[in-house]
Amino acid sequence: MADELNNPDAVIALFEEATEANLDAKCRKGSIDEIAAPGHLIATGDLHDNPMHFERLVELANLGDDAGDMPRKHLTLHELIHSDRLINGMDFSYRMLAKVARLKAKFPEHVHTLVANHEMAQMLKSGILKDGVKCVEAFQEALIYVFGDDAGRVEASIDRFIRSMPLALRCHCTKPSGGRSDVLCAHSLPSPGMMGRFDTTVLSRPLTDQDYEPRVGSAYAMVWGRGYDAELLEDLVERWGVNWFILGHEHAEFGSAFTAPNAVILNSDHAHGVYLPMDLGAVYGPEFAMESVRPLADGMAS
């Protein structure tokens, strides 16, 4: 795939196919994906262009070329771009985005490309700093370096792919004896200060340009929120009819963290990065989920 990632027409075709897969997949409902038992989910946190952890996640979800007849699992992927591994000041994480686009196009019902704040910032061309690096500009400079006069066309296809990404994945988990527990996987949730202007119906309808508007749009609020409190989390589970959340965005030094009363935070990008395997035919709670988190590091995952 290396040569393909340097070919503007091939890369554009990948992003266009993945855009259609995001929008046309049977699992797409409104602005989110929805899945239900039977099946399994590999839930993740921020990835930030970690190629080793990406390959491990593809393997765990049985979505690799060598998976054979093994049953495919669902896989969430988000916060894919803006790596801290720059080359001459340029960020080549468009390649990770293209790899994920290829995976989504191949497995539209099993790969769930949740939009995150770094992808949205790239699409909106809004300023974002990470460790002193102007992320959007470093990403664009890499596109110009690789694609030259075709960089604009490639960037436009990336923007369309990002705009097509779902805001969340809703999992309908069921007990063998009956009963249901719904889990919402998302990059983040609105912070308390954003709730006054947040439209909670945003999950059940297609997104509009206004939803992406910085600081006031509801999709924007969904990917930038931090500092949730118990009142906010309890309000959202009641409004959305879910039981608990799997989120990213906030740093978890050892890969996972619990935010009371009902949110699990995952990181998948750093040395202590983790994933959460879930059987959709079983009802989990956030406390049990915390005990089920597994490391992504070589030789440690199971």
For position 146, which CATH number holds? 3.60.21.10
Q: CB of 13 within 8 A of CB of 5?
A: no
89 part of a folded domain: yes
**pLDDT exceeds 80 at position 204:** yes
List, for residues 234-275, the tens digit of each pLDDT value: 999 999 999 999 999 999 999 999 999 999 999 999 999 999
Most confident of 73-77, 82-86, 180-184: 73-77
**pLDDT exceeds 80 at position 184:** yes
Q: Give the pLDDT mean for 215-243.
A: 95
Output the pLDDT for position 300.
43
What's the domain count of the chain? 1
CA distance 267 to 254: 8
Place of tokens 């202590």: 272
Find the domain containing 243 and state its range: 4-293
Output the pLDDT for position 176.
64
300 part of a folded domain: no
299 part of a folded domain: no
Mean of the per-residue pLDDT values of the chain: 93
Q: CB of 154 within 8 A of CB of 94?
A: yes
- Please give the share of the chain, as a percent, with pLDDT higher than 70: 95
298 part of a folded domain: no
Closest by alpha carbon to 218, among 194, 198, 192, 247? 198
CA distance 77 to 126: 22
Q: What are phi and psi of 170, to 5 degrees?
A: -100, 125
- Please give the share of the chain, as a percent, with pLDDT higher than 90: 86
302 part of a folded domain: no
CA distance 65 to 252: 32
Output the pLDDT for position 87.
94
Closest by alpha carbon to 77, among 45, 117, 123? 45
List, for residues 109-158, the tens digit of each pLDDT value: 999 999 999 999 999 999 888 888 899 999 999 999 999 999 999 999 99
Q: CB of 222 within 8 A of CB of 188?
A: yes
